[in-house]
Amino acid sequence: METFRRDFVEVLKEAENVVFFTGAGISAESGISTFRGTDGIWNKLKPEELANFDAFLKNPDRVWEWYQYRRHIIDRSKPNPAHLAIAGMQELFRNVTVVTQNVDNLHRRAGSRTVYELHGNIERNYCIECRTPYNSPEFASDDKVPRCENCGGLVRPDIVWFGEMLPEEDFSLSEEAAEKCDIMFSVGTSSVVYPAARIPLLAKRLGAYLVEVNLEETELSPLADYVLIGKAGEILPGVLEEVKKLKGKG
Ligand code: OAD
């Protein structure tokens, strides 16, 4: 098992409030592509043609079909050891909060109870006219964009597209969690998409110990107290084992 630096272990021992801020990299080992990097989605497809409201109005079926494709991949995927390790931490710390940029629901499926979703959730949809929600999987089974049963409006995925506001409640609850946490983990995110990327910065500014888990260094690395380079699915189970040992539950 990996040996962790002493100052990190000391913080883990005393910590009560822990936040995991996660991005696409945490789901990579579940078979879901990330957005940036060599195999990233935005290297092959243009976000301006898929992930914004104007693109949807211009060609709703194309955008809908793309999200259906992603839904199929996500439906077939399972939480990996990184998601499960985070859920396992709930038994060891007073408060464990997940703030995620992911829309794949894998944290909840792994058993995490407090999950704030900053970029929406691919399992949900709503009418762009009257905002009726459509969340049953049967509703989203077609490759053609569905119409609202109440008003006939187009139904869109409940995902935050470029240029759109983040869900207010989830964002302010994430800020609150960041403000009061003792330790903040930033896992599998390139830390370049704002305002989400403000969350770990806020925690750090207010005195939390900031840990980064990533395959490589990012823009956040110079600010982190501890940078763990490697796969989240390998590093986080190691952290969980360490915490169990510290709490006499190993
Ligand atoms: P990115 O694709 O920008 O970054 C993924 C990060 O995960 C990179 O820094 C990789 O090095 C790292 N990574 C990959 N595999 C990993 C692994 N197994 N273990 C640890 N780290 C790994 O994804 P995000 O930062 O999540 O927005 O992107 C932010 C937002 O940009 C997304 O939420 C999405 C996108 O446009 C919306 O869809 C609204």
Query: How does pLDDT run across 192-226, given as a tens digit for each residue?
Result: 999 999 999 999 999 999 999 999 999 999 999 99
> What CA–CA distance (Å, rounded) separates 131 from 153?
9
Q: H/E element holding 8?
A: helix 6-14
| Nearest residue by C-alpha to atom 14 in ligand 1 | 25
**Ligand 1 atom having least distance to the Cα of 232:** 19
Region 146-161: mean pLDDT is: 96
Q: What is the pLDDT of residue 1?
A: 61
Binning the chain into helix, strand and coil, the percentages to the nearest 5 are 40, 20, 45
Spacing, Cα 124 to ligand 1 middle (Å): 21
Q: What is the pLDDT of residue 207?
A: 97
- Closest residue by Cα to residue 85 from 242, 240, 246, 247: 240
| Nearest residue by C-alpha to atom 18 in ligand 1 | 231
pLDDT at 137 over 90: no
End-to-end CA separation in angstroms for the chain? 13
Region 23-51: mean pLDDT is: 90
Q: H/E element holding 178?
A: helix 168-180
Average pLDDT, the chain: 95
Annotation says 119 is catalytic:
yes
How does 6-23 read in b/e, with b if 16+ C-beta sit within 10 Å?
eebeebbeebebbbbbbb
